[in-house]
Amino acid sequence: EIVLTQSPATLSLSPGERATLSCRASQSVGSYLVWYQQKPGQAPRLLIYDASNRATGIPARFSGSGSGTDFTLTISSLEPEDFAVYYCQQRSDRYTFGQGTKLEIK
Amino acid sequence: QVQLQESGPGLVKPSETLSLTCTVSGDSLSSYHWSWIRQPPGKGLEWIGYIHYSGGTHYNPSLKSRVTISGDTSKKQFSLNLSSVTAADTAVYYCARTSGTYILDYWGQGILVTVSS
């Protein structure tokens, strides 16, 4: 089973700042990595697929990068609505998720 | 617009079978994969399995012995059965469309299922 480890667990930033979230895989997943955003009481929302492709309707301030075992989600300038929990996910013999990074307002 | 809606009992007794249905609108089951995912309260996401548009299934090995996912294309529904439940199966259960073989692009709103006597 491929394990995804996200860091940091919690990130405290202010609106307008740049956020950098990390997801590390225990073995290579190529570019088969997805990022989701989840707000309290809501289902996750697809942000980025295939490591770097923005999903339909996702603002340009969200970007993804990486391949192999190391991936990054960057939010260039935080908006108030961006404070949420972010998960990465991969496919292999099963889909697995990281444990999440909570992005909170400082 | 693709929409998914979970339905089923919100309370299940220990050792019984949890049964949920996902109703799809705006799309056909005869394409994509269709997944179930769960999230225990305050915790992360766990993929349960999917049904392929051809009818084939693929399950999380950790749950495989207890899970069955089936589909009814005429009703545009797919279902989850999870047997021999315990309190550890208490979670919000989501259904989702799966594109590109692994991308969960449309999700239902989720349904909380509590396992308790």
DSSP letter string over B11-27? EE-TTS-EEEEEEEESS
**B110 and chain A in contact, CB less than 8 A:** yes
- Indicate the SS3 state at residue B105: strand
**B3 vs A contacts (CB less than 8 Å):** none
Q: How high is the pLDDT of residue A93? A: 65
- Tell me the nearest-neighbour CA distance from B39 into chain A, angstroms: 10
How close B98 comes to chain A (CA, Å)? 11
Q: How many C-alpha atoms does A44 have within 13 Å on its Cβ side?
A: 32
pLDDT recorded at residue A83: 97
Which residue, among B74, B22, B90, has the nearest Cα to B51 in the 3D structure?
B22
3-state secondary structure of B90: coil
Checking if the pLDDT of A53 tops 80, the result is yes
How would you write the pLDDT of chain B (117 residues) with one tens digit per residue?
A: 999 999 999 999 999 999 999 999 998 888 889 999 999 999 999 999 999 888 899 999 999 999 999 999 889 999 999 999 999 999 999 999 998 778 999 999 999 999 999
Distance between CA B82 and CA B78 in Å, rounded? 14
Give contacts of B47 with chain A, Cβ < 8 Å. 89, 94-97
Minimal-distance CA residue of chain A relative to B99: A49
B34/A75 Cα distance (integer angstroms): 30
Chain A residues 36-95 with a CB less than 8 Å from chain B: 36, 42-46, 49-50, 55, 87, 89-91, 93-95
Q: Which residue of chain A comes nearest to B111, CA vs CA?
A: A43
**pLDDT at site A54:** 97
CA distance A64 to A44: 17
